[in-house]
Amino acid sequence: MIIGVPKEVKNNENRVALTPSGVHELVRQGHKVVIEKNAGIGSGYSDEEYSMEGAQIVSQAQGWSAELVLKVKEPLEQEFPLMKEGQILFTYLHLAAGLRPLTEALLKKRITAIAYETVEDRQGALPLLAPMSIIAGRMAVHIAAHYLAKPQGGRGVLLAGMPGVHSGKVLIVGAGVVGSNAAKIAVGMNASVYIADINTQRLAYLEDVLPGKKTTIYSTTKTLASVVESADAVIGAALIPGAVAPKLITEEMVKSMKPGSVIVDVAIDQGGCCETSRPTSHADPVFVKHGVTHYCVTNMPGAYPRSSTKGLTNATLPYAIKLAAKGVEQFAKEDAGFAKGINTYQGKLTHKAVAEALKLEKEFVPLIQALSP
Ligand SMILES: NC(=O)c1ccc[n+]([C@@H]2O[C@H](COP(=O)([O-])OP(=O)(O)OC[C@H]3O[C@@H](n4cnc5c(N)ncnc54)[C@H](O)[C@@H]3O)[C@@H](O)[C@H]2O)c1
């Protein structure tokens, strides 16, 4: 198979979908790998390193002309014309977050688009979302601490506190991969940490394993409202896989927060779990609404591309290898969790939650039906 890796074009997106050692594995298995010139430069991988492992360095158009395209972020509008009719695209897509123009472009071009974030493993976890969720969760607390500083417009609260002075209060909404990693860093910083979820097993697990000052909360509108008003930082990390993020932090709750507090809405790539959130970029990461600083960057791990590229490709490479060897149809038949990643298949919208989120229910075709000849 011919496998292409375009350079990412999103604002400050320095990750790349394949490392030189990933190229080595795919070439060893008889595939041809074409990498767009300078695609790895932001992650510290030169064209020479890719060439040495057998990749061909090509133009943007040639990178996009492959049978299988590996990417990090969803194609932006400027990339739509580069997508080739009938090709396979394996990347983060987050279509449910309102990306209707992209969904329509994928359908029109009959692209088979497999979203990293909806691929499941045997336990129903999200193995290709997890590595970036680990990074975003760990980053979220650093970011909250940064924007709580007075020179950054914050309340001037040090999350760690000090002897005789209260620690900062951090509410984490969603105790999955982002939430538990944020909690780990926050308790490590000596903050007072509140973690809310509707999954009581996750809460019990975190109660057991986390040291430090932590309180677990069953998430309801009322319990969240009671903590939000006194929180110095709120981290949005709730997800319903494939669907738009639940709006758990209402505008009223935001209004109740103290001026200079911070919201880091990590779930913004799925639409955000705070009513006042809107997507921002690394170039202009925050805005203030009702006196509260909102950080809503949709590609947070892009800020740490060296670590993120390694973490991402460690997870995606085994899937890319199987996909290239077996093709979509065979791989989907053998692995139901991989099949859940297929959001569009040759002109058909095959992910129900995406169809519902985008009000494209009429376009929805169950994958099993789409795959049958
Ligand atoms: N902005 C970024 O750069 C970035 C990076 C990585 C991940 N993310 C996003 O972060 C979000 C979380 O990802 P994850 O990997 O932690 O997902 P996850 O599935 O591991 O965890 C989500 C958690 O949300 C909980 N949840 C669902 N409904 C809830 C409710 N009503 N109240 C409280 N909790 C609720 C679930 O029970 C689950 O524990 C996703 O939207 C993901 O796409 C964003």
Per residue in 95-110, pLDDT (tens digit) is: 998 899 999 999 999 9
Question: Candidates 266, 277, 280: which one to mutate for ligand 1, based on the most atoms within 8 Å of Cβ?
Answer: 266
Closest C-alpha to ligand 1, atom 4 = 266
Q: Are 147 and 154 in contact (CB under 8 A)?
A: yes
Active-site choice (197, 232, 265, 269): 269
Closest C-alpha to ligand 1, atom 18 = 176
Ligand 1: nearest atom to the Cα of 301: 3
**Residue 146 catalytic?**
no
The yes-or-no verdict on residue 273 having pLDDT over 80 is yes
> Euclidean distance between the first and final Cα of the chain, in Å?
22
Q: Parallel, antiparallel, or unpaired: how do β-strands 348-349 and 342-345 relate?
A: antiparallel
- Expressed in angstroms and rounded, the spacing between residue 126 Cα and the centre of ligand 1 is 10
What radius of gyration, in Å, describes the C-alpha atoms of the chain? 21
Ligand 1: nearest atom to the Cα of 302: 3
Overall fold of domain 2-118+305-371: Rossmann fold (3.40.50)
pLDDT of residue 61: 97
- Expressed in angstroms and rounded, the spacing between residue 246 Cα and the centre of ligand 1 is 10
Q: In sequence order, what are the residues at sequence separation of 6 or more whose Cβ sits closer than 8 angstroms to the Cβ of residue 247?
A: 272, 273, 274, 275
Instruction: Give the confidence band of 123 by pLDDT, cuts at 50, 70, 90.
Output: very high
Residues lining ligand 1, Cβ inside 6 A: 117, 126, 129, 132-133, 136, 173-179, 196-199, 202, 219, 237-240, 245-246, 248, 266-270, 297-301
Q: Are 112 and 88 in contact (CB under 8 A)?
A: yes
Closest C-alpha to ligand 1, atom 9 = 267
pLDDT of residue 243: 82
The yes-or-no verdict on residue 242 having pLDDT over 80 is no
For the chain, give every domain's residue range: 2-118+305-371, 133-298
- Expressed in angstroms and rounded, the spacing between residue 63 Cα and the centre of ligand 1 is 32
**Residue 232 catalytic?**
no
Tell me the sheet residues that pair with 112.
88
Ligand 1: nearest atom to the Cα of 117: 43
pLDDT digits (tens, 9 = 90+) for 23-62: 999 999 999 999 999 999 999 999 999 999 999 999 999 9
Closest C-alpha to ligand 1, atom 11 = 267
Give the mean model confidence (pLDDT) for residues 189-215.
96
- The CB density around residue 368, as the number of other CB atoms within 10 Å, is 11
Q: In sequence order, what are the residues at sequence separation of 6 or more whose Cβ sits closer than 8 angstroms to the Cβ of residue 359?
A: none
The yes-or-no verdict on residue 314 having pLDDT over 80 is yes
- What is the distance between the alpha carbons of residues 102 and 94, in angstroms, rounded to a whole number? 10
Question: Would the CATH topology of 2-118+305-371 be identical to that of 133-298?
Answer: yes
Instruction: Give the confidence band of 372 by pLDDT, cuts at 50, 70, 90.
Output: confident
Per CATH, the homologous superfamily of domain 133-298 is: NAD(P)-binding Rossmann-like Domain (3.40.50.720)
Closest C-alpha to ligand 1, atom 26 = 238
Q: Are 337 and 344 in contact (CB under 8 A)?
A: no
pTM of the model: 0.89
pLDDT of residue 172: 98
